[in-house]
């Protein structure tokens, strides 16, 4: 290696030789995924409750809208990276109708290639090396990775909830205040996400109001990832933009993946604070040419059409949640039913308390043929838990819980 060599070893032996990639923590799900693939290839019947990849088909009227436009050559050109006006306009209608929030389609909305892409590029647009982002933990992995990619620093705050899954909001906001007033550098951004993946924790509008107030006072920008906006089982999850004045400091991400069963289509959007929306719009204008236009047209149709498909999907997840919880309880692993999302978050059961979540997940895979996500994959605060994704039918979930029950009864 010469002193001027830009990377630590020459020639590079693997991707970790590149500093931006090298800074990333190990991708812990890779281990379980590799073992899962081996077992499936060996012909085993594996019940996969690992990744939150919705199994339900996109509703027919959305697919039909795509079909109606897909053959039209004018849609085969590059589209607009910030999204076509028709979709941005549909987004403003959706927010006005659903949350009573007025948005300007030109300056306060940008379409993204899924929430994940948008979140990552927003961090890249906003952060300078060393900027600190506050992330409640356990966290959906991209909430941390996006900051690291952008050269920023993650400061985790404990995400604590009560026995019923309500956020301990005062404790979280006290930790935000603490981070803002002690320590250096001062945090630039707070990243919230409720209903939460992986913990399923839910937050109230009152909490959102307090969060906006604290962030405004401490001059912290706020990002709210609202991927599970439509998955509150007996309550309506609040949008951060419902808080009066939130737009001055906050943006919200929405994903079409879950609500409209469109994970493979890659559509989401970011709305709210014009400076943050414009930052994301600008960086995207350098990096992409927009989503295939018929997909954007179909996404606009999804937002404008009858919304029964969304509640139907939520009811499927509710029934699956009930099946999973009943099955686990019957098999000696009672858990609190989640109030929202398409997941269940469970402390390790007796007699496995104390085992690492990774070892427990691998044990379940080997002994029961059931894949769950080890809590450690969501950061050190996730240790001692596993996450079930409700992406199999009720019958399969019950089969999974019976198999798990046999493993529990065999003991460690
Ligand atoms: C909290 C959260 N945000 C974002 C995403 C990804 O959304 P999208 O498919 O729109 O990129 C997920 C998917 O699991 C998620 O759980």
Q: What would the pLDDT profile of 168-211 be if each residue is shown by its tens digit?
A: 999 999 999 999 998 778 999 999 999 999 999 999 999 999 99
pTM: 0.96
What average pLDDT does range 147-152 have in this prediction?
94
Atom of ligand 1 nearest to the CA of 268: 10
Cα 410 to chain centroid distance, Å, stands at 35
What whole-number percentage of the chain has pLDDT above 70? 98
CB-based contact 358:31 (threshold 8 Å): yes
Q: How far is CA 233 from CA 53, 208, 321, 339, 341, in A?
A: 19, 19, 10, 6, 8
Q: Using a 6 Å CB cutoff, which residues line ligand 1? A: 52, 114-116, 140, 193, 197, 225, 227, 255, 257, 263, 268
- The CATH 3.90.1150.10 portion of the chain extends over 15-57+309-410
Rg (CA), the chain: 22
Give the pLDDT score at 17: 86
Helix or strand holding residue 315 (H, E): helix 308-330
Cis peptide before 221 (omega within 30 of 0): no
| pLDDT digit string, tens, across residues 369-400 | 999 999 999 999 999 999 999 999 999 999 99
Retrieve residue 223's tokens: 């990002």
Q: Is CATH 3.90.1150.10 the classification given to domain 15-57+309-410?
A: yes
Domain(s) labelled CATH 3.40.640.10 in the chain stretch across: 61-304
121, 140, 280: which to mutate for ligand 1, most atoms within 8 A of CB? 140
Reduced to 3 states (helix: H, G, I; strand: E, B; else coil), residue 200 is coil
The CATH class of 61-304 is alpha beta
pLDDT at residue 152 is higher than 70: yes
Report which of 149, 317, 309, 157 is spatially closest to residue 228, judged by C-alpha positions. 317
Residue 226 phi, psi dihedral angles, 5° rounding: -110, 45
């Amino acid at each position: 290696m010469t002193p001027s060599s830009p990377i630590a070893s020459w020639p590079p032996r693997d991707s970790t030789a590149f500093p931006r990639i090298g800074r990333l923590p190990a991708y812990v799900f890779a281990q379980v995924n590799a073992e899962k693939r081996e077992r499936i290839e060996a012909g085993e019947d594996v019940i996969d409750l690992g990744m939150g990849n919705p199994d339900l088909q996109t509703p027919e009227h959305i697919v039909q809208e795509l079909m109606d436009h897909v053959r039209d050559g004018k849609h085969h050109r590059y589209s607009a990276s910030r999204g076509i006006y028709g979709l941005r306009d549909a987004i403003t209608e959706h927010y006005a109708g659903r949350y009573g929030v007025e948005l300007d389609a030109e300056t306060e909305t940008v379409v993204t290639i899924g929430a994940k892409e948008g979140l990552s590029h927003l961090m890249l647009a906003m952060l300078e090396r060393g900027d600190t982002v506050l992330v409640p933990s356990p966290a959906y992995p991209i909430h941390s990775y996006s900051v690291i990619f952008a050269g920023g620093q993650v400061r985790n705050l404990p995400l604590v909830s009560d026995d019923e899954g309500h956020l301990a909001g005062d404790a979280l906001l006290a930790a935000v205040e603490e981070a803002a007033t002690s320590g250096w550098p001062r945090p630039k951004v707070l990243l919230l996400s409720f209903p939460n993946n992986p913990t399923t924790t839910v937050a109230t509008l009152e909490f959102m109001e307090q969060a906006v107030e604290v962030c405004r006072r401490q001059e912290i920008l706020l990002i709210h990832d609202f991927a599970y906006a439509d998955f509150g089982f007996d309550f309506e999850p609040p949008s951060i933009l419902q808080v009066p004045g939130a737009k001055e400091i906050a943006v919200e991400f929405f994903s079409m993946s879950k609500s409209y069963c469109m994970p493979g289509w890659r559509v989401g959007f970011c709305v709210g604070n014009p400076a943050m929306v414009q930052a994301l719009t600008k960086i995207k204008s350098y990096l992409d040419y927009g989503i295939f236009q018929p997909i954007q047209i179909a996404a606009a149709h999804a937002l404008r059409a009858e919304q029964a498909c969304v509640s139907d999907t939520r009811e499927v997840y509710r029934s699956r949640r009930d099946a999973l919880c009943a099955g686990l309880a019957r098999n000696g692993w009672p858990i609190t039913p989640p109030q929202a999302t398409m997941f269940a978050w469970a402390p390790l059961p007796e007699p496995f308390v104390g085992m690492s979540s990774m070892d427990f997940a691998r044990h379940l895979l080997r002994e029961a043929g059931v894949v769950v996500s080890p809590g450690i994959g969501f950061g050190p605060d996730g240790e001692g838990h596993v996450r079930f994704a409700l992406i199999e039918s009720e019958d399969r979930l019950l089969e999974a819980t019976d198999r798990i029950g046999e493993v529990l009864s065999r003991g460690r």
